[in-house]
Structure 1
Amino acid sequence: MTRVQANLLLLVIALIWGSAFVAQAQGMGVIGPMMFTGIRFLVGALVVAPLAWREWQQLNAQQRAPGRREAGKITALGVLMLMGAAMQQIGIVHTSVTNAGFLTALYVPLVPVLGIFFHRHWPHWSVWPGGLACLVGAFLLSGASSLQIGVGDAWVIASALPWAVHVLMVGRVADKMAAPFCVASGQFFVTGLMALLWALAFEPATLQAVQAAAWPILYTGVMSVGVAFTAQVVAQRYAHAADAAIILSSETVFAALFGYWMMGERLSPSGLAGCSLIFISMTLIQLIPVLKRRYS
């Protein structure tokens, strides 16, 4: 897979995640956020499990099956996913959706910064203005006129760190292990199990409520987790982490489009400007390095 193909796959992933916001909004109306998260990630783990089992058998035949060390790395990825989801959900309880949507986008500029410290990898110069443009675009898309940092905002800001580290590490772990399906299924299982245990301890839940949320859970579990998160693991073996963060930030644009189409939501002029800014920054971040190589 070439870098361009990987980036196109990441764009498809962002589209799926954007469409999943509608299902998530419907599911959250009847069950708690951690119960919803736990079940859907376990569904995602089951979707990928046959591919992971086949991959593990092939690696075992080559005497390269993942061991305890690799299992630890997969568990760490699952914990990062859970931390990001949990802190974001706690923050949303205490802040507005507008602030939460904008502040979550802080992971975009965090990825290239952390890449320098963790991997000594300096991204192409175009990543910096591209990341800043995505952040400004997310602010415009949120429709916020000002930001007042409160307790909830602080939780959402904190969630950007585990999300950024996850984006930075998932492709590297999968590439070193040469086992993207094992990595995907394993991290989903860890995230789902821990979220479900959390929900059973702290959230009220009934079988009727879970049944009422069955279709949103199945859609997000199969498509958002099973398909999209697994494809992310595959794509990020070939895409730069900084590029991936910027492309994946387009899920906010797709969420707005699906909200317009399926829920009758409308974008303000500033929201349209934000979508345009994110789209332009994504396009330029891909074209500038290619054009430089072609004409240098």
Structure 2
Amino acid sequence: MQNAHKADLLLLIVTLLAAISWMFSKEAVLSMPPLLFMAVRFLLASAILSLVAWPQLRLLSKAQLLRCIRVGLVFGIAMSCWVMGLAVGSHVGEGAFLTSLGVVLVPIIGRLLFAEPVPTSTWLALPVAVAGLAMLSLQHGLNPQPGQLFFVAAATIFALYFNLNTRAANTIAVTGRNGQTHEQARIPALVLTSVVLAVVGGVTGALSAVFEPWRTTWQQVTPMLLVWVILSATVGTAVRFLVQTYAQSLSLQSHAVVIMVLEPVWTALIAAAWFDETMNPTQLAGCVLIFISLLVNRHRFVRDLLKSLIKPIS
């Protein structure tokens, strides 16, 4: 199997793990402060991966460590916004579609910060995405819900994280201030994931220490809460982000961003089964428009992906 196709298959698995993780996290934040949950979840996941990555971690250079920390800081802020949206939001499926807006923003962030070209499809997708966002956020009038605002903020920062993570996981050419171009070596996926998750745990832990009470939580820990935290740390974090980073390191030409649009679909379906969630017509229309914008944004990759799937069958 070619690396690009292997990356596509792994990212499909990532979308399923991500969707399941939404449920684990929602169950956990019903019983403990959201930022504290994220700190425990990510620090535990990082500790698990670091045990395996330790030989490689010892070889990490200062420059590589700083790159990992930069990715982790951005990811930590994004995850803080995301979990606050999950905690105060009332609809998991809607939140998943709002968060998926980050997919449309990935190339725009790449253009603004890394001078990467923005395909025409992105400009075509933006109005559709905005229309979907408007239908979700304006269904209560000019009064978007706090959860929706957190999810949109998370989507924007996730787009920056995705750019930084892909660049860190691959060997790229970098032009310095003196105009000279040099090669920036890739960081092994296991090492990158271990450090990034640790930084996310540190960021969310620091925010939690400032804004959230801890004593009550430790006094009310239940066996079921421990189950949700452990599942979130292992399946929803350690395994998920390791597979995602490894998949991103296999090829720059995979259909990563296209496949990741499946996450909100899986999440909405699982939330409907898990929490008995339903959508009113306005919510459903908004989510459909956002999903269409994701497909329009990457229509060429969608076409190529379909061809690659149909060709072996024919």
TM-score (norm 1): 0.78
Pick aligned residue for 2:291 from 267, 273, 278? 278
Query: What displacement does 1:150 show?
Result: 5.1
Asked whether the equivalents of residues 258 and 302 of structure 2 are also in contact (C-alpha less than 8 Å), the reply is no
2:166 is aligned to 171
Give the gaps of 5 or more residues in structure 2: 171-184, 309-314
Asked whether the equivalents of residues 109 and 132 of structure 1 are also in contact (C-alpha less than 8 Å), the reply is no
Cα offsets for 1:125-155 (capped at 9, x unmatched): 5565567767767777x69746635583555
1:8, 1:97 → 2: CA distance?
29
Aligned in 2, Cα 1:108/1:290: closer, same or farther, shift over 3 Å?
A: closer
Query: What displacement does 1:39 show?
Result: 0.5
Q: Secondary structure at the match of 1:237?
A: helix
1:191 is aligned to 200
- Which one-letter code corresponds to 2:295 in the other structure? S
Asked whether the equivalents of residues 30 and 87 of structure 2 are also in contact (C-alpha less than 8 Å), the reply is no
- Which one-letter code corresponds to 1:45 in the other structure? S
Pick aligned residue for 2:113 from 118, 141, 144? 118
Cα offsets for 1:152-176 (capped at 9, x unmatched): 3555433333211100110211223
Q: Count matched residues.
A: 286
- Which one-letter code corresponds to 1:207 in the other structure? W
Pick aligned residue for 2:226 from 208, 214, 218? 214
Give the gaps of 5 or more residues in structure 1: 58-64
1:62 is aligned to none
1:181 is aligned to 190
Aligned in 2, Cα 1:261/1:103: closer, same or farther, shift over 3 Å?
A: closer
TM-score (norm 2): 0.74
1:256 is aligned to 268
1:221-260 to 2 correspondences below 5 Å: 221-240=233-252, 243-260=255-272
- Which one-letter code corresponds to 2:259 in the other structure? I
Query: What displacement does 1:41 show?
Result: 0.4
Q: Secondary structure at the match of 2:31?
A: coil
Pick aligned residue for 2:81 from 79, 83, 87? 87
Query: What displacement does 1:254 show?
Result: 0.8
Cα offsets for 1:205-232 (capped at 9, x unmatched): 2324344521111111101110111111
2:157 is aligned to 162
Query: What displacement does 1:93 show?
Result: 6.9
Query: What displacement does 1:95 show?
Result: 6.7
- Which one-letter code corresponds to 1:288 in the other structure? R
* More displaced stretch, 111-120 vs 205-214: 205-214
- Which one-letter code corresponds to 2:208 in the other structure? A
Aligned in 2, Cα 1:273/1:207: closer, same or farther, shift over 3 Å?
A: closer
* More displaced stretch, 124-133 vs 2-11: 124-133
2:150, 2:270 → 1: CA distance?
27
1:215, 1:139 → 2: CA distance?
37
1:71 equivalent to 2:83? Answer no
1:55, 1:137 → 2: CA distance?
44
2:5 is aligned to 4
Cα offsets for 1:170-191 (capped at 9, x unmatched): 0211223341111100011111
Aligned in 2, Cα 1:233/1:163: closer, same or farther, shift over 3 Å?
A: same
Asked whether the equivalents of residues 50 and 194 of structure 2 are also in contact (C-alpha less than 8 Å), the reply is yes
Cα offsets for 1:105-140 (capped at 9, x unmatched): 332221111222333333655565567767767777
- Which one-letter code corresponds to 1:262 in the other structure? W
* More displaced stretch, 113-122 vs 225-234: 113-122
Percent identity among equivalent residues?
Answer: 20
Query: What displacement does 1:292 show?
Result: 9.0
Q: RMSD in angstroms over aligned alpha carbons? A: 3.8
Q: Secondary structure at the match of 1:236?
A: helix
Aligned in 2, Cα 1:186/1:210: closer, same or farther, shift over 3 Å?
A: farther
Asked whether the equivalents of residues 108 and 131 of structure 1 are also in contact (C-alpha less than 8 Å), the reply is no
Aligned in 2, Cα 1:47/1:16: closer, same or farther, shift over 3 Å?
A: same
